[in-house]
Amino acid sequence: MHLPISDKIELNILHQNSHQAEKNKVKFNNYNLLCLNIMSSPGAGKTRLLEITLEDLSTEFQSAVLEGDMTTNLDAARLEKLNIPVVPITTGRACHLDANMVSGGLKLLEKKINPHILDILLVENVGNLVCPAEFEIGEHFKVALLSITEGEDKPLKYPIMFREADLILITKVDLLPHLNFDINELKSNISSTNPKADVIEISSITKSGFDLWQKWISKKILKFKK
Amino acid sequence: MHEVDMTKCLILSMEEWAEKKNKEKIIVEKINLKIGEFTCVEPISLINTFNAAVLGSWLDSSEITIETIPFEGKCSKCNRSYFPKKENGYKSPCCNFNLEEIISGRELKIASIDFKEK
């Protein structure tokens, strides 16, 4: 037996995932396809948001969706009704999408459609505030939803999700008159955790805020395609 | 649950590292990790998951050590470093400014690997 040797490698634990995420991003870039990673807790309104958004975007842009779900294809079935390409990714027991899953989803999408004709790929992550933001998938931007029924303190309790997000959508704001909820406190908690994030208040019932969200997306697509 | 996926990534990285070292001729004694406080990792869960995942494998006798890296921010007004607290909305205690710059705490690293040649 020899004496122990210490090999200082300073390697990211998630290096394998990051490496695949980089490959995904190269593919998205080659397709000239903007990719958004949509994240939130379960029930914050991701699928409903996508239903409305995809319909609104359809006049101007070509979209597709990778739909992450732990055990069912229920959300994918809802979005397929909009006649856009949707690939369900069932994660099984995994509580987030990772870069390999998205790579697999992209391969299935390539069989359905030529991604060169697409402008935007919306990836709906698994409903979970704890870890999805820690696993890169090759996205260009992260969008986090937070519904007002979840409470003002969530950005402080799940700071990584809200720190990593480029845009935070405060959803279900039509419920404000019915709840004892302080939206200014929520906004202050968002600013404390992530002063650089864009913030939009939105309601899928009244459609308030959707104009700003659509503008945000359009701006990102047009800038990306330049 | 995400510790399972982190462990998978860790084992894949170890496999990649070992291929360069001639895996058959080495015994890994310790895998020394640096985990920041501002990550979603619970160190004890990562250790338990790793121990369960490597049972019967070439890493069966390897031990994980974790150095916790403190969560430290920098006040964007006065440039002082501070330890952000949830209770204070992560704001700087000196100037009550929002957390703009994170100095440390986001680490998820394999710092070093202690091994012996057979």
Task: List chain A pLDDT tens, one digit each, 226 residues.
Answer: 577 899 999 999 999 999 999 999 999 999 999 999 999 999 999 999 999 999 999 999 999 999 998 778 888 889 989 999 999 998 877 789 999 999 999 999 999 999 999 999 999 999 899 989 999 999 999 999 999 999 999 999 999 999 999 999 999 999 999 999 999 999 999 999 999 999 999 999 999 999 999 999 999 999 998 8
Between the alpha carbon of residue A70 and those of residues A52, A164, A166, the distances in Å are: 23, 22, 25
- Chain A residues touching residue B86 (CB < 8 angstroms): 156-157, 159
Contacts 24+ apart (CB under 8 A), A46-52: A46/A75, A46/A124, A46/A125, A46/A127, A46/A145, A47/A75, A47/A78, A47/A79, A47/A124, A48/A204, A49/A145, A49/A169, A49/A171, A49/A202, A49/A204, A50/A79, A50/A122, A50/A124, A51/A78, A51/A79, A51/A82, A52/A204, A52/A207, A52/A210
pLDDT at A70: 76
Point out the residue among A1, A131, A191 whose CB comes nearest to the CB of B98.
A191
ipTM value for the complex: 0.88
| Residue A7 touches partner B, C-beta closer than 8 Å | yes
Domain that holds residue A217: 16-221
Q: What is the CATH number of the domain that holds A63?
A: 3.40.50.300
Cβ contacts from A onto B, under 8 A: 108
Compute the mean pLDDT over every residue in chain B, rounded to the nearest whole number.
94
Would you call B99 and A135 a contact, using CB atoms and an 8 Å cutoff?
A: no
Residue A110 falls inside a structural domain: yes
Residue A1 falls inside a structural domain: no
pLDDT at B2: 84
| Residue A177 touches partner B, C-beta closer than 8 Å | no
Query: Number of folded domains in chain A?
Result: 1
Residue A8 falls inside a structural domain: no
Nearest CA in chain A to B117: A2
Residue A21 falls inside a structural domain: yes
Would you call A160 and B38 a contact, using CB atoms and an 8 Å cutoff?
A: yes
Residue A10 falls inside a structural domain: no
- Chain A residues touching residue B31 (CB < 8 angstroms): none
Residue A26 falls inside a structural domain: yes
| Residue A153 touches partner B, C-beta closer than 8 Å | no
- Chain B residues touching residue A160 (CB < 8 angstroms): 38-40
- Chain B residues touching residue A6 (CB < 8 angstroms): 112-114
CB of A49 closer than 8 Å to CB of A212: no
Residue A195 falls inside a structural domain: yes
Residue A11 falls inside a structural domain: no
Report residues of chain B scoring pLDDT below 70. 1
